[in-house]
Amino acid sequence: MKLKKLIHWTVVVPIISAAFYLFGFLNNTPFTNIIGALLLFSSVMAAVHHAEVVAHKVGEPYGTVILAICITILEVGLIISFMLSGSEGALTYARDTVFAAVMIILNGILGICIWIGSRKYKEQFFIANSATTYLVSLVAILVLTLILPNYTSTEHGPFYSEAQLVFVALACLTIYGTFLMFQNVRHRNYFVTESQDQTAHEADPPSLLKTLASLFLLIICLAVVIFMAKGLSPVIEGFVESIGAPHELVGVIIAFVVLLPEGLAAIRAAKNNQIQSSINLGLGSALASVGLTIPAISVVCLIYDIPFVLGLDMKSIILLALSVFIVMMSLSRGKTNHLYGTVLLVNLAAYIFTVIVP
């Protein structure tokens, strides 16, 4: 049994990925690049698994914070790796990735969860107050980070000045920190149904040894993902250019890689008639993606004097407003149906289509 645990893919993948990078196999041939991309993707999945093990051991509210920080480190590491490539789209990679993450979560993850759950159970019920709380926090952060930069006058263009960037980063952290207190301390009952609470109590926390092993492997996974992303950034950018797509597609690819593990978990919960868990995972990931990633990117860019664009163009603002409005309407009544899911998935298709064919 112990041997079986040692050869589990979440243990083997980080070690193989680290060896693959350290021995210089990356970027040797197209074949090794494909292997590197698969290892990068697998390392992201393994990192989230080990973060969940650590989070389960420490419990709430610290478990939620650990998962959010893990996802943020992955996203920030991937974004910075691509920004340092110095390519044409380097200035907008942070904005494009955060925007893509929000659009994929609101339209894709929630859309699939609602559609699958409603097709199987007709209607699924959740606590409407939880969705309202997520969306109030998320909308405020989205406006401050992705829309307001277009209308400030200290800097020309969709940029923030250093002082404005510091203020917005602190505002995001304040909103996100207050939300965590609300979710995990003062109003936990808004986010956890009785059946979820019983399931959580039934699952025994991992042993201290397993937790420490997962923490060590989590650190390896995060380092591997960041370094391999830096090595693969020219390859991914070259692929996007070769198919004639705009560089915004790189942001979509980064967001997809980061969000896939949480997305699969949310879809699995919806199939098991736990739509509240799906909403917690989806909207929680969106809130962390913006509320933690933008401040982290801001700190790195201020320290190393790296300029970056935050403001969206008008087409993107319209798509974002449409997505937020549809999600608000879909989650306002505390129950879902497959029409809501279909409309959200059409919104996602419109977003991806307009990225490729602007």
Indicate the residue type of 15.
I
Indicate the residue type of 7.
I
Query: 56-70, 100-114, 213-227: which has the minimum mean pLDDT?
Result: 56-70
pLDDT of residue 226: 78
Find all residues with CB under 8 Å of 291, minimum gap 6, and list them.
137, 141, 172, 173, 175, 176, 179
Residue of 326, 316, 358 whose CA lies nearest to 98: 316
Q: What are 339's two structure tokens?
A: 């029409």
3-state secondary structure at position 125: strand
Domains along the chain?
A: 2-356 (1.20.1420.30)
Find all residues with CB under 8 Å of 337, minimum gap 6, and list them.
114, 118, 122, 123
Is-contact 36 236, C-beta < 8 A?
no
Cα separation of 245 and 242, whole Å?
8
Residue 304 has pLDDT above 90, yes or no: no
Residue 300 has pLDDT above 70, yes or no: yes
Q: What are residue 335's phi and psi, to 5 degrees?
A: -150, 155
Average pLDDT of 181-200? 68
Average pLDDT of 2-23? 77
Answering whether pTM is above 0.95, one says no
Is-contact 103 333, C-beta < 8 A?
no
pLDDT of residue 28: 66
Token pair 């896939």 is at which residue? 260
pLDDT of residue 204: 67
Cα-based distances in Å from 340 to 3, 322, 335: 47, 13, 10
Is-contact 170 292, C-beta < 8 A?
no
